[in-house]
Structure 1
Amino acid sequence: MTDQTPALQRPATRAARLSAIEQALLTRIVTSQSQLSQILADQGIEVTQATLSRDLDEIHATKTRLADGTVAYALGRQPEESASANPDAKTEQQMNRVLSGLVTSVAAARNLVVVHTPSGAAQYVASVIDKQPIDGVLGTIAGDDTVMVICADDDYAKQRAQWLLDVVSKG
């Protein structure tokens, strides 16, 4: 009997694949889609080139020249984007694509927004929210199927709950 169980097992879901791609780009220097595909395959995630290309676009990965001259994929927001009371259409569009199938309900409770997700999706949803420059949002806490979005005050919580509901309802 041989033990070939990988150290980290991921479900075969889109959310898990996107998370694995983000983690790979944050922890390694990835210079090509074929290299990224191999990294994912080593984790038991098989992906076509077309899907990988769409995934990279969705998480806003771009090729960037590193200090040593190497061109590699990088993640991150554009520094010129600043927080605003009403996040721009591009932010809303990205969040809609990522979150529309993952948010099942939204409610404001004092300075918190409580977001329910399918089991196992809360941490991914929290991560997506945390990466956006959203005025009045201080951060998130995620469990298995619930995210608490901590807002600066009760009014922001009400505004952000309605905004998030509107964003995930588009499409």
Structure 2
Amino acid sequence: MRKQVRQKLIKEILQENVIYKQEDIVEKLNARGINVTQATISRDVKEMQLVKLPTQTGSYRYSMPTLKEINVEKKLSDTLSESYVSSAQNRELCVFKVLPGSGPAVANLIEQAKYPEVFATLGDDATVMIFAYSEEDAIKMENKLLNLINIG
């Protein structure tokens, strides 16, 4: 079994059960027909950065690490402000030229923001291509992103 699939299952197990020790994870995976060793689970626990939280009874259980909530639009605004070169829109497409190395980060932040106008993004080293659902949506996205960096 691939590591990513196994770790996804571990996450599900943690959400559905109270897990006190790594052996409990091994047992739950074995019950699903997935044979793993405790050593494998130990590596997964470390890689997934699982944490042990106290329970009301004084014992400890495994949990996923808490993720810091980030303001995606603020991060996008900051990143785009620092890297913006130019933009253009044509039909359902919107292209942003950015400083070299910034394209993947900007594309990823646009995806994380889950703008309803965006079908998909593609970011290379210095370009971000935004695929919108319509020409109107592409225009909206260009304006929205330019307004984020006070250029609109």
Q: What is the TM-score when the length of structure 1 is the normalising length?
A: 0.49
Aligned to 1:109: 90
Aligned to 1:61: none
Q: Specify whether residues 75 and 137 from structure 1 end up closer, same or farther in structure 2 by C-alpha distance, changes over 3 A only.
A: farther
Q: Is residue 146 of structure 2 the alignment partner of residue 168 of structure 1?
A: no
Higher strand proportion, which one?
2
Q: Is residue 11 of structure 2 the alignment partner of residue 30 of structure 1?
A: no
Q: Is residue 125 of structure 2 the alignment partner of residue 144 of structure 1?
A: yes
Q: Is residue 120 of structure 2 the alignment partner of residue 127 of structure 1?
A: no
How far is 1:93 from its partner? 2.7
Q: Secondary structure at the match of 1:127?
A: helix
The one-character-per-residue Cα deviations of 1:77-136 (angstroms, maximum 9, x if unpaired) are: 8xxxxxxxxxxxx55333212322122222211101101111121111111111112011
Distance in 2 of aligned mates of 1:102 and 1:154: 25
Amino-acid identity (%): 21
Equivalent AA in structure 2 for residue 123 of structure 1: P
Distance in 1 of aligned mates of 2:87 and 2:147: 10
Higher helix proportion, which one?
2
Aligned to 1:98: 79
Q: Kindly indicate whether the alpha-carbon contact (under 8 Å) linking 2:50 and 2:62 is maintained by their aligned counterparts in 1.
A: no
How far is 1:75 from its partner? 6.5
Distance in 2 of aligned mates of 1:76 and 1:152: 28
Q: Is residue 65 of structure 2 the alignment partner of residue 72 of structure 1?
A: yes
How far is 1:140 from its partner? 0.6
Q: Specify whether residues 102 and 134 from structure 1 end up closer, same or farther in structure 2 by C-alpha distance, changes over 3 A only.
A: same
Larger of the two Rg values belongs to structure: 2
Aligned residues: 99
Off by >6 Å, runs of 4+ in structure 1: none
Equivalent AA in structure 1 for residue 77 of structure 2: N
Distance in 2 of aligned mates of 1:120 and 1:128: 14
In structure 2, stretches of 5+ residues that fail to align are 1-45, 55-60
How far is 1:151 from its partner? 0.1
Distance in 1 of aligned mates of 2:73 and 2:105: 17
In structure 1, stretches of 5+ residues that fail to align are 1-26, 33-63, 78-89
